[in-house]
Structure 1
Amino acid sequence: MKGVTVLDRATAETYAGWFRALADPTRVQILNLIAAACEPVSVGEIVEQVSVGQSTVSAHLKILTDTRFVLVEPRGTARHYRVNQACVSCFPSAADVVMGRDAVAFTSDEAAR
């Protein structure tokens, strides 16, 4: 396989984390809700829109924040969540790169922004 470039391990691990984070339909719903919102949303607002409890939403938000799809904004004692545009804009290209298509590869450092 001459001329084939393999992803570096750190980037492959970042991409794998993204794919794992989106492997749950509730997390996909939560990310979609946050991305569609015009402003950061609270856990309570998310709970109102998805059919799971607050503790479950919080657990899913932890995974989405750990992978940097979602960023947290503390507001007093509450926490509000917004989509991380830098990470989300990398995701389609990540899928292309993994599948061997021409796309701009993002490093794990860029995705962490």
Structure 2
Amino acid sequence: MSNVEVLPLLEPEAPESAVPCCPPLTERPFTAEEAERTARMFKALGDPVRLRLFSLVASHEGGEACVCDISDVGVSQPTVSHHLKKLREAGLLTSERRGTWVYYKVEPSVVAALGGILGGKG
């Protein structure tokens, strides 16, 4: 017998939000859908704790971090979990359970897309 527990998959609020696909702000006006998707990402990053958690994961070696490595941000563990959930729902982070720990990852395409939206090279 295996000790593996099958967990249900959690879908983000909108599946298309997982990978941002919007043009730079200066290229052309956003469509309503692009504006909604982009606003969802920036709203998630609008909280200082979430921005710090996102930065901690993105700058961690390999672009991936265990929740145990990033939870020291001056708020309680349940609050950290809440903020990480909001980042996942916005399509900014993915998560994977490994044993008793959850590992979070920022996809390089997300960082590149955020930079691209602001007119940078990403």
Residue-by-residue CA offset, 1:63-113 (whole Å, 9 max, x unaligned): 1111121111221232110112111210122234xxxxxx79xxxxxxxxx
Tell me how large the CA RMSD over aligned residues is. Answer: 2.0
Residue 70 of structure 2: which of 14, 37, 46 is its match?
Answer: 46
TM-score, structure 1 as length reference: 0.73
Q: What residue in structure 2 maps to residue 74 of structure 1?
A: 97
Measure how far apart 1:5 and its partner are. 4.8
Q: What residue in structure 2 maps to residue 31 of structure 1?
A: 54
Query: Using a 3 Å threshold, how does the CA distance of structure 1 residues 29 and 5 change in structure 2: closer, same or farther?
Result: closer
Say whether residues 1:10 and 2:30 are aligned partners.
no
Identity of aligned residues (%): 32
SS at match of 1:68: coil
Equivalenced residue count is 94
Runs of 5+ consecutive residues of structure 1 not aligned to the other structure = 97-102, 105-113
Write the letter of the residue equivalent to 2:70. I
Write the letter of the residue equivalent to 1:95. L
Structure with greater proportional helix content = 1
Runs of 5+ consecutive residues of structure 2 not aligned to the other structure = 1-26
Write the letter of the residue equivalent to 1:71. T
Q: More relative contact order in 1 or in 2 (CA 8 Å, sep 6+)?
A: 2
Moved over 6 A (4+): none
